[in-house]
Chain A
Amino acid sequence: MATETLTLGKALNTGLRRALENDPKVVIMGEDVGKLGGVFRITDGLQKDFGDQRVIDTPLAESGIIGTAVGLAIRGFRPVCEIQFDGFVYPAYDQIVSQVAKMHYRSQGKVTIPMVIRIPYGGGIGAVEHHSESPEAYFAHTAGLKVVTCANPQDAYSMIQQAIASDDPIVFLEPKRRYWEKGPVELDAPLDAAYPLHSARVARAGTDATVLAYGPMVRTALDAATAAAEDGRELEVIDLRTLSPLDLTAAYESVKRTGRCVVVHEAPGNLGLGSEIAARITEECFYSLESPVLRVTGFDTPYPASRVEEEYLPDLDRVLDAVDRTFGW
């Protein structure tokens, strides 16, 4: 079985290539996805090999990208839309939440919108404003959409293919600051043998406290677990992978064992995913909890100037600090 070491970005690129090969109805569309290969080069080389009818450079109009993809989906295509940066998805917000999410429901199942909306998201790359946001809660709040995010190259490779093969409209969040991180990827494993799309996974087993993270924060949580281990504390890290629907089965099982839980995400804390997760864990694991579920999140500010983003973003120290607090209760 061919296992290769790829960056997360290259794994996505390879996954997209596979999807284009496997299904002639898959089309990729977005700003600069063709000749340039996308501003992050995630679609690099695809237009060259599949032509400009399969990999389409679109006009600069986000609502247009999503709205026309809806029409293509009704026509029987499987559009994969790239939104160039998180902060530019908002012009398409209406099409996503009012049209993409609801077509299947409104048509009583007669119309299916098998569409993937790829969004490079999150901070940590020193970008200017509107290039570092975490809009996941807006989409996770909308019934009819599914929201997933990958945290390592293997998942990037298989999850993007699974998302494209799925009949659900999926918001696929790519942790842009992890694009360049490398990891092993099994290229030949059949898609249905891959870990299921809508399931969380234990990224590191532990016994003393549970840390829940997703996307870019999984690496941070794993680093925190490594540091904690040096101090003799074994943290269990769960990569949520799926934000809507939330798969908290592994989290419940883990928290019932450890009695402690910390949720980590980059998005602002107010009404973020962490709030929902904390509420559900409290409902489900109340008698096992030794301390309240704590959240480590971005602050309730607009994403700040990049020279202070390191202070804004949850890091290893803030995660460890929260872990300490759960023990101090």
Chain B
Amino acid sequence: MAKGDPGVTTRGRRAAPRSKRAASAATGEPDLVQLLTPEGERIESAIGPDGTEYRVDFTDEEYRGLYRDLVLVRKLDAEATALQRQGELGLWASLLGQEAAQVGSGRALRTQDMAFPTYREHGVLYCRGIDPIMPLGLFRGVDQGGWDPNEFKFNMYTIVIGAQTLHATGYAMGVHMDGKTGTEDGEAVIAYFGDGATSQGDVNEAFVWASVFNAPLVFFCQNNQYAISEPLERQTRVPLYQRAGGFGFPGVRVDGNDVLASYAVTRHALDNARLGQGPSLIEAYTYRMGAHTTSDDPTRYRIASEVEAWQAKDPIARMKAFLTKQQIADESFFASVDEQARTESVHLRERVLNMPNPEPVTMFDHVYPHGSPELDEQRARFSKYMESFEGSAH
């Protein structure tokens, strides 16, 4: 993907190259791999806890593409939140604040890689090329998620916390058994989960399995600081990325509000996985700016100053500052991105309002691949019952 080192260009208008060891005191967060500061300063490379050096080298077009992704997913997410408020969706789990973690990791995936999401990965879904209306069907209640997991290499959303990490592990074992690891164009798998999920048995079992079977898997934990109302301290007393060590694979904490660093660490971990070097854990240190879901009231459990502090680390603002400073993009570009986001969200809204309810009889479909006599009978009886209302004033 990359051409040239963005730190050293012929035009000489890049930020002065700096190299930074993770655990920089400058940001106040320990052990954080960062390539773009909240002020929009580029850091040329960052060193992870195991000495890995992370860097990215994007073309101007690619930088602008990442910015566009961030703005689009934020806007579509906001539209979905609005649709819920207007009663068009039963529920919505917003990704606000987590765009960089999702776009960074999502763009690091290659076509052949497989992703196992939770219910919040709308940004990753977008990066996988799936129509953003798809998750809205699930939250509207007209289907249970309409995309084809095999076609897009993005599995169904998983609501039961942590369950998908085991599916990802098994899938990754299968990749390995199919002989699709050990080369640069091998396949890798990524499992998404939250900080709360790290307390679940399934996630810990997945760590054990992935480790002992050397599965080509990246565990991508978005630590957004809360599991509904419960703060991180209720889940763990050690930094989450350090858990990996106990299971026998590397762990790294990345600034999850930094799309460049999120991309760099994910790409590196995926490459290691596809080369046959086994699993790793990425803790994307970020913040959920909104409510857990639209049914939540975050003012009950967190204070405004905390939200404000994170506001200052906004993933889009810092990317915009960087693009502006480096003259990679100008006002007309930003305006055109905003316009595109607006158009797409209006389009999304129209399509959601037109999403038809499913025919009731379809509830009997796909319980079993080849049906079941019992169910066929129930379907027939139900159809007859429904028909009995036709034309009648019920």
Contacts and interface: CB of A to CB of B under 8 A. Distances in A.
B178 interface: yes
B202 A63 contact: yes
A99 interface: yes
Q: Could you tell me the dominant secondary structure of chain B's interface residues?
A: helix
Contacts of A74: 149-150, 155, 167, 170-171, 174
Interface in B163-217: 163, 165-175, 177-178, 201-202, 205-206, 208-209, 212
A59 B205 contact: yes
A91 B201 CA distance: 9
Contacts, number: 139
A107 B163 contact: no
A70 interface: yes
Nearest to B211: A59
Interface stretch (B26-34, B52-60, B279-287, B366-374): B366-374
Nearest to B143: A108
A77 B177 contact: yes
A130 interface: no
Interface centre among B149, B150, B166, B172 (most CB of A within 10 A): B166
A109 B369 contact: yes
Contacts of B174: 71-72, 74-77
Given A67-B166, A71-B168, A71-B172, A59 B208 contact: yes
A91 B205 CA distance: 11
B369 A70 contact: no
A144 interface: yes
Contacts of B146: 108
A69 interface: yes
B366 to A, nearest CB: 4
A239 interface: no
A219 to B, nearest CB: 27
Contacts of B366: 104-105, 107-109
Given A70-B166, A75-B170, A108 B144 contact: yes
A63 to B, nearest CB: 5
A250 interface: no
8 nearest A-B residue pairs (beta carbon): A71-B170, A67-B166, A75-B174, A68-B170, A71-B171, A64-B205, A167-B369, A71-B167
Given A71-B167, A109-B366, 14 more contacts: A58-B209, A59-B212, A67-B165, A68-B167, A68-B209, A71-B166, A71-B172, A99-B167, A103-B156, A104-B367, A105-B367, A108-B143, A245-B374, A246-B374
19 contacts: A53-B177, A58-B209, A64-B209, A68-B166, A68-B206, A71-B166, A72-B173, A75-B174, A95-B166, A98-B163, A107-B149, A108-B143, A109-B369, A110-B149, A111-B150, A112-B369, A166-B370, A198-B372, A246-B374
Interface of A: 27, 53, 58-59, 61, 63-64, 66-77, 79, 91, 94-95, 98-99, 103-112, 143-144, 146, 166-168, 198, 245-247
